[in-house]
Every structure is written in C-alpha cells, then in structure tokens.
Structure 1
Amino acid sequence: MCTRILWNTNDHAVLAGRTMDWPESTEPVLTVFPQGLKHDGGKLADAIVVADNPLLWTSRYGSLVTTVYGAGTADGINEAGLAAHMLYLDDSDPGPRDPDRPGLQIALWIQYLLDSAASVGEALALADSFQLVPIEMRGFTATVHVALEDRSGDSAIIEYLAGERQVHHSRDYTIMTNEPAYDEQLRLLEKQVSTLRRLGHDGPDSEIPLPGNVNAIDRFQRAAYFTSLLPRPADEQQAVAAILAVTRNASVPFGAPYGSGRFATYNTEYRTVCDLTGRRYFLELATSPNLLWAELDRFDLSPGAPVMTLNPDGLLLAGDVSGAFAPSPAPF
C-alpha cells in the first residue's frame, strides 16, 4: 500500500517521507500548479462524476505535487509549507452523497487542501466545506485516508469510517500506513511495545524481534521504531538522508508476497520526501538509481504563470531537476 513518516524533531528541517506502493504504475508526473487556477471538484479527467453541486475553487497557493493517473494528486507540498499525502485505506467510507453539500471527487482531496490552506489547522477547518465523493480509477476504487503536516511540525491524520470523519491531530502522529484504521494501528503499536518490555527489552537493541514483513501493521511498527532511533543530524542534508533511509526500510521490494488475486504484490513504485523548511520536494522511482528533487522557490507561482510538469522516469534525470520542467496544460 503506502507508508508516511514525519520527522519533526531534528532541529534542522521538518521532513515527511512516503512510499507509493501499488500493483501497477500510477503514471506519476511531477507538476507545479501556480496560484489562481480554477478547479472543478466534480470532474474526473473529462468525465463529470459529481453532477449536483460540485465544489469549485480557485487556488490560493502554488504547489508542487505528484499526480496519479493524470486525474488527481497523490502527494505534494505548497508554497506556504503545508504537505499532504493520500494513502490507501480499504475501510474508507465518506457516507451517502448529500447534494446540499459541495461534492469533491476524492482524487482531488489533497489538491484542494494544498490550494487553499497554509497549515494543518487551516486544512482541518475546511473539512466541513465539502463532501468527499468516492470514484473509481483504472478499475480500482479510490478508498483513501490522508496525512497532513506543516512547517511548524504539526500533523493530522484524516479518515472517513462508516460515514463519520475521524481526525487525529497532534505533532506526535508521525507514522501512517494502511489497514487497520488509525486508532487500531496505535493500539497495536502499544501492544508491541508492551510485549517487548515483558521480554526484557526496555530500550532499543539489536536483539529486538522487530516485525519484518510488508503488511501495513509491520511497516507501521518498523517505521515507528527506526524513526525513533534517528540520530541528530549535523545539517539538512543529513536529515534528508536519514528520513530517506527509514522510508526505504519501509518500502516493499519487488516480488514481495502481499494478499492474493489482483493485489498479489504491492511493490513500492516511488518514494518522496517533502522538505517543509527548505521548500524542496524529493522523488525516487523504485525503478531508477537516481534521486531527483525540485526547488519550489525556482518556479513562478504567481497567477497566470504556466503549469509546469516533468515525467520523472528517465535515467538522465538526477539531482536538482527544477530546470527540466516544461509548460504543460493543466491535467485537472
């Protein structure tokens, strides 16, 4: 599925790493959206999926994101220092459609938040201004939950379960994967910690029997363990390298067993790091040896500026690729 890891205690930069784990390519494209873009939350590419009362908005902030299937945003950061990550959650259920509330197709959920909010608090305040509408893309139902963080280190996890919104809002909520729902993930993590204490492991050591499989529970506990052990970095470069190391550890290798049928293998497609302090966005394709990044400050984000895109799949792309982006029609 996916993993999100926030490191907000290293004294150099607020960083969030994530993996995108999916059974096929999500066709990721790095995309820069300027301010002043008009969006229709009722459209899925060229199709209308919310016919009655779609959410319409104009972007207040520019953003740098990774798109999914050219129809929505999976991950990204905005110029105000807010980042958002969309991860799969099979139990996600926003409830029946209420046409009296503006409808937002779920693949545009985090793009709306990045366009409209400067902080986690502002993003949460928007929650009652729309209703999420489930969609299907490429034969997959988009059942998701969202992680948010901002440059202050604040964090929130938002889930919709049986039609009810569940919000976990604290800078202490740094790890997120998939099933089960977040309350249960926290309970299972505490159970694991208690078990280790009963076995005599009062602190971290090399003999701890750490969960090592690729399911969401094991990845959650492994990411929490290694993030808690990260040493204080000397600078921002070391901090980025450290969060990448944990993100890679939580990744799913090619061919790893996962479930059955069409979801037999969810290998990691790519990894990203949002640097909310340095306003940088890193991406690493699992099929490439190269790490890419883009500097948000190098783009014109003013109203009327062009949308800029870059297909990250290229062996000649490495390091700072800000200058490799090209003007493009807005994908949505």
Structure 2
Amino acid sequence: MRSVLSFCKLLLLMSVLVTALPSYLLKAAEPGPAGVRQQIEMVIRMRHPTDTRDWWLALGPQAPGVIIQMVEAPEYRENTLHKMRLLQGLSWFAQDSTALDFLKQQAQTTNEELVRQSVIEAVGITQGPKEAEFISKFLLSTDPQTRLAAAEALKRMKDPRASRLLEAHIPNEKMPWVLDRIQGTPPVALRPGRLKPVSSSEDRLSRDLVGSWKGFWIYPQKHLKTNGGLAQRAAVLELKLAGAEVLEGELLLPAQAGLPLSVYRLKAQGKGLAFTGNAKATSDSSEILIEGQLMRRAGILVLEIRFEASTLIVSLIRR
C-alpha cells in the first residue's frame, strides 16, 4: 500500500513539473515544419550565432522548404540580415535541387546587392566547380562588388576551369580596386591630406550625410608585408539624423570567407560635414571612438570614418 502511495505521489509530482515547464521549452519539441521554423527563428535572431553546417542539416529534409517559405514571407522579405542568414543556411543543403534552384533565382532577381553577393559566395562554397559557369555570369554585373564576389568565389574553387573563366574576365575589368583584389594586390593606405573636405558653413549636421553608403573597412593584416600590410572587406553604412547635431547609424560588415558578420551601432555629434562619436559592436558591446568627415576625391563624395587608437578606416561612397 505504501509503495502504491509513493508511486502516486511521484506521478503527481511529474505532472506538476511538466505543467510548470516554460512554454518555449514545450514548443521547442514541436514536430514538423512549425518546429523547424521555430528553431530557425531562434538561431537567426541570435546576437552571437553558433550554427554550423551540421546544425542546419540536422533540421532534416523538410528544412529547405521551410527556409524558402520564410525567405518569401513578408517579415523576412524586408529584413536583409535575416534573409542573408536564411539563404546561407539553405546553401548547406547542397544535394537538394529545389534549394539550389531557389538560391540561383535569388542571386539573379534580387535588387539587394548584399543578398546577391552572399548567395554567390554560398553557392561557390557549397557547390564548388560544378557551378563555376553560373557564378562566372556575375562577372558581367554592373555592380563592382558583385563582380568581386563572383571573382573571389571562382578563386576559392582552385579549379582549372574556374581559373580560366576568371582569367578571361581580367582584361575586361575596368575598376582598379576590383582588379587589385582579384590579383591579390593589398590596398594602399590613405595618406593624410589625400582627401579634401567638402566646404560647409552649416551650424548643424548636413543632410548630405544621411542615407546609404557602401565601401570598404580597411584594416591592418599582419601577414601582408607590402603596401602597409592592409586588407579590406566590404562595408555598408546607413545614417540618419536624430537631431540637429546628432547622427545615428548602423555599419554592417557582411560575412565573408573566414570572417563572421559584424555590426556596429554608430552615434555621433557634429556640425556641417564632420562628426565625432562612438561605434558600439553588437557582438560584445565594446565601444570605439570615431571621427568622420565627408570628403571629395576626384569629383566623388567620399565618407571617411577613422577609428581612434587604431589604423582602422571605413571609406564609403553613396549607394
């Protein structure tokens, strides 16, 4: 009798514990597409993502269909960062023809340069030389960063046919900095006085600073021994005025081979076309003092942001 009572008490305790479990733990075990979507949503919203190829593949054969539905859903269609994460995850399903066709369609039809470049890189990594012909078509893009993404994808393949496709493009590449990157020439450091500030007599920040900018994050790389040992990666900046003398923005460094996605929140004060403030990394909340100035070089407006106590420079032009 005592053992029966003990068993009943145990059952009662277990039912109480299950009832008390947080709802998100119960939902995490939900089977089917809804459960897969929930797991994906949790991962792409992480500030410090840890997902790997194996994590995505472990979601199972229904995952590609779920990812495609998410990319096409309104809440993700307008979110570039989440869309990029989803498409990169989809690319790991290398044997799924539907997934590959969707990735190709995205690369060919999207108006978002970052999404296009991200897909080109992902397809190059996961599909390799068998998609060299497809990737080489983007060497004809009017966008230089897309051409660069295609060129670097072909280089990483280390395949004779991919190399021939890239070599055939080199004589036709008109953008010097793209050619330098293709041929492995490190960028030259900007020298003081090389850029001339745009004149301004405004007592408030100029609206010329507002909007979308694209360019490069230029940084020292120890193993580069020439031209100051500098390397560069693509950068995109969105700026807005938060007051007459307050500027806010987000600096995005897209993921590329060996480097994770990096995001910095910028807040600065200034007048006219110059400002000072700080950049806070979303990954670890560290802050760096910055100094920015709108410049003119060869008739083109250039926004240059220098990071204090380092040789980091972000050089951008209007998108």
TM-score normalized by structure 2?
0.30
Higher relative contact order (CA 8 A, sep 6+): 1
TM-score computed with the length of structure 1 as normaliser: 0.29
Q: Which has the higher helix share?
A: 2
- The structure whose Rg is larger is 2
